[in-house]
């Protein structure tokens, strides 16, 4: 037994005592291979998973380093079976390799013939392969590079991809660091991606993921396709690239529902690419419109299923995914790993906060009680209706009105899921509302007015969850959401984390994040799952009764 901060358990959980003097060193050492699950006040829980260990292997860490880290920091003896399992799991990565053969093109090669024989007998893989070249090598149909990686991951034998990337059509792109410079973590993130050739960068909202994308573009110096969540986000990307790089407006095209421009740098929305007509996706031809050298996936955790299928065909292109959280409610993190690439860089939110690049946050859950009549309606409703009934109680309107009054001098967002609830709140607060039905020009006008301080209060639907830059926002009041979505919680909190300038007295902005929840309902149950994200990132949250807020 030594005095380490870590307890390693046979169920593959790691318990980190964060008050220990060596906790910070331990956290940095285990971050490349252990997934953070919970981080309440005193003990953080990490888990060893095959995907986490394979991510570490892809980033250049070997089993010996992982085992040495566990032995160095563990307070008690590390279970031998766990060490064996770590070594054997990591050894699975790379026994199969995708390579370019001088005469046969793309091939699957193996350093372990029985493994190759095993996967060759998998029915899902048979149609992706061609003739056997020798005992250890088999031809892969060129169009199946992505599908094969996806299938091999599911079989537990992830292939290491050495087949390389095409450079694409060259196009000069330089960063214009005039009055600003890349932060150290942004530069490190871009370099980690470039060294790996493809993969995912995980950074908090407000930490400048767009600048990481711009830095990757400056390294590629090639035509670039950028995929984003909505038109407002597309225009924000364009504005940022014009301001931060040598690109001019004429070199950047928008490909959305209203505009179809294909230029050396083209910014397209996921929505238009996944528009279906008569069973086909007519806009996917955009992918073949140019010889792209780089593809950027903004908010990669939101990739729709058709984009996954499309990405399987793009394995020869360099790809970078940008996200604040790799949590996917559909469990498709493995598809992100195999089709976009492994995680190349990940910075904990609290670390970036400690450096002063994002604002600290005060997270409060405010609980309200349904009136008797509404409780009876809720109790007798069909299960699929209960969340809407609990979320849209009129009791929340009073609480929101009082919270807005409490923070009358702070730019405030009221965020919800249900349009009728948002309309009711907008009327009660005499505030403008932005939903998916709001025209893009009007959305931009209202967002600009909020940024400049002309408007201090906005009611918004989930269209504001993603890629909307509202640096002035200081307060968010959440009244309903997408059930128990942790990724949505991350995005909504992220609307508040731009640090802003210090006050005249030198005080830093503190974000206020309220969630108004109906107690004794599924609304409260879902809130617990959403709060897991806050706990995972180290944010403490308080639960208070609406009557005790002093509002």
pLDDT string in tens for the chain (551-residue length):
678 999 999 999 999 998 999 998 998 899 889 987 776 778 888 999 999 999 899 888 999 999 999 999 999 999 999 999 999 999 999 899 999 999 999 999 999 999 999 999 999 898 899 999 999 999 999 889 999 999 999 999 999 999 989 999 999 999 998 888 999 999 999 999 998 889 999 888 888 899 999 999 999 999 999 999 888 889 999 999 999 999 999 999 999 888 899 999 999 998 888 888 887 777 877 777 789 999 999 988 888 888 888 888 888 899 999 988 776 666 778 888 889 998 888 887 778 888 888 888 888 889 999 999 999 999 999 988 998 999 999 999 999 999 999 999 999 999 998 999 999 999 999 999 998 888 888 988 998 898 888 999 999 987 766 556 677 788 989 998 875 566 666 777 777 777 766 666 666 778 888 999 999 998 888 887 777 777 767 777 788 888 877 54
Predicted confidence at residue 501, as pLDDT, reads 63
270-to-95, 214, 284 alpha-carbon distances in Å: 35, 19, 10
Asked whether this chain's domains 184-351 and 359-548 adopt the same fold, the reply is yes
Q: Nearest Cα to 306, choosing from 266, 272, 261, 265?
A: 272
**What is the C-alpha separation between 266 and 539, in angstroms, rounded?**
37
**What pLDDT is attached to residue 157?**
95
Domain definitions of the chain by residue range: 6-92, 96-161, 184-351, 359-548
* 3-state SS, one letter per residue, for 54-82: HHHHHCCCCHHHHHHHHHHHECCCCCHHH
Instruction: Provide the pLDDT for residue 504.
Output: 62
Q: Closest Cα partner for 477 from 460, 463, 454, 490?
A: 460
pTM of the model: 0.82
Instruction: Assign 3-class secondary structure to 236-287.
Output: HHHHHHHHHECCCHHHEEEECCCCECCCCEEEEEHHHHCCCECCECHHHHHH
Residue 139 Cα distances to 112, 164, 166, 511, angstroms: 17, 16, 20, 55
Backbone angles phi, psi at 260, to 5 degrees: -130, 75
Neighbours of 158 (CB within 10 A): 26
Cα 296 to Cα 343, 347, 361, distances in angstroms: 14, 19, 29
* pLDDT at position 329: 63
Phi-psi region of 483 (alpha: psi -120 to 50; beta: other; left: phi over 0): left
Q: What is the pLDDT of residue 159?
A: 93
pLDDT in the model for residue 502: 60
CATH 3.40.50.300 fits 359-548, yes or no: yes
Strand order in the sheet with 457-460: 433-434, 457-460, 412-415, 475-478, 511-518, 361-368, 541-545
The residue count for the chain: 551
- Report H helices in 431-505: 440-452, 486-494
Contact 182, 211 (CB under 8 A): yes
The whole-number pLDDT of residue 428 equals 95
Distance, C-alpha 492 to centroid of its chain: 12
321 near 341, Cβ under 8 Å? yes
Specify the pLDDT at position 283.
83
CATH superfamily of 184-351: P-loop containing nucleotide triphosphate hydrolases (3.40.50.300)
Q: Are 544 and 364 in contact (CB under 8 A)?
A: yes
Among positive and negative, which fits the CA dihedral 185, 245, 469, 490? negative
Report the distance separating Cα 162 and Cα 155, nearest Å: 20
Q: What are phi and psi of 34, to 5 degrees?
A: -110, 140
Helix axis angle for 50-58 and 80-92, nearest 10°, is: 60
418 neighbors 392 (Cβ within 8 angstroms): yes
The residues, any chain, with a CB within 8 Å of residue 282's CB and separated by 6 or more, are: 275
Residue 61's contacts (CB-CB under 8 Å, 6 or more residues apart) are 32, 33
Q: Which residues contact 288 (CB under 8 A, 6 or more apart)?
A: none
């Amino acid at each position: 037994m030594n005095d380490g901060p870590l307890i390693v358990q046979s169920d593959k959980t790691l318990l980190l005592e964060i008050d220990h003097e060596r906790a910070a060193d331990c956290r940095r050492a285990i971050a490349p291979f252990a997934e953070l699950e919970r981080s309440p006040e005193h003990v953080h829980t990490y888990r060893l998973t095959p995907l986490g260990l394979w991510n570490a292997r892809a980033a250049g860490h070997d089993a010996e380093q992982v085992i040495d880290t566990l032995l160095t920091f563990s307070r008690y003896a590390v279970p031998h079976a766990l060490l064996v399992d770590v070594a054997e799991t990591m050894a699975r990565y790379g026994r199969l390799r995708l390579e370019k053969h001088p005469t046969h093109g793309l091939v699957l090669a193996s350093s372990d013939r029985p493994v190759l024989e095993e996967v060759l007998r998998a029915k899902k893989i048979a149609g992706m392969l061609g003739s056997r070249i020798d005992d250890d090598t088999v031809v892969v149909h060129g169009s199946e590079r992505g599908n094969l990686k996806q299938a091999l991951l599911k079989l537990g034998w992830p292939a290491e991809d050495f087949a390389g990337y095409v450079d694409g059509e060259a196009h000069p792109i330089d960063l214009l660091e005039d009055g600003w410079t890349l932060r150290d973590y942004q530069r490190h993130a871009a370099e980690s991606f470039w060294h790996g050739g493809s993969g995912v960068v995980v950074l908090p909202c407000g930490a400048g993921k767009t600048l990481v994308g711009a830095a990757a573009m400056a390294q590629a110096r090639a035509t670039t396709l950028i995929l984003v969540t909505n038109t407002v986000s597309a225009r924000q990307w364009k504005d940022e690239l014009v301001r931060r790089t040598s690109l001019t407006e004429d070199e950047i095209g928008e490909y959305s529902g209203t505009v179809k421009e294909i230029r050396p740098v083209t910014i397209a929305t996921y929505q238009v690419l996944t528009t279906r007509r008569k069973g086909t996706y007519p806009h996917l031809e955009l992918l073949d419109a140019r010889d792209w050298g780089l593809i950027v996936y903004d908010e990669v955790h939101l990739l729709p299923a058709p984009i996954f299928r499309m990405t399987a065909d793009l394995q020869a292109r360099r790809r970078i995914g940008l996200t604040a959280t790799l949590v996917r409610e559909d469990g498709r993190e493995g598809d992100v790993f195999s089709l976009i690439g492994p995680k190349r860089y990940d910075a904990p939110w609290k670390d970036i906060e400690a450096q002063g690049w994002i604002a600290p946050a005060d997270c409060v859950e405010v609980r309200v009680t349904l009136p008797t009549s509404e409780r009876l309606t809720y109790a007798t409703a069909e299960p699929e209706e209960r969340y809407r009934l609990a979320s849209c109680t009129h009791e929340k309107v009073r609480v929101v009105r009082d919270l807005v009054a409490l923070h009358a001098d702070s730019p405030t967002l009221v965020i919800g899921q249900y349009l009728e609830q948002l309309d009711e709140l907008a009327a009660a607060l005499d505030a403008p509302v932005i939903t998916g039905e709001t025209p893009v020009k009007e959305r931009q006008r209202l967002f600009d007015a909020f940024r400049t301080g002309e408007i201090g209060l906005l009611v918004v639907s989930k269209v504001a969850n993603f890629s909307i830059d509202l640096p002035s926002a200081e307060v968010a009041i959440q009244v309903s959401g997408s059930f128990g979505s942790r990724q949505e919680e991350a995005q909504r909190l992220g609307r508040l984390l731009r640090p802003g300038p210090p006050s005249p007295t030198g005080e830093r902005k503190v974000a206020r994040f309220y969630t108004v929840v109906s107690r004794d309902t599924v609304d409260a149950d879902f809130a617990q799952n959403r709060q897991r994200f806050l706990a995972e990132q180290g944010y403490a949250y308080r639960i208070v009764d609406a009557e005790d807020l002093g509002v």
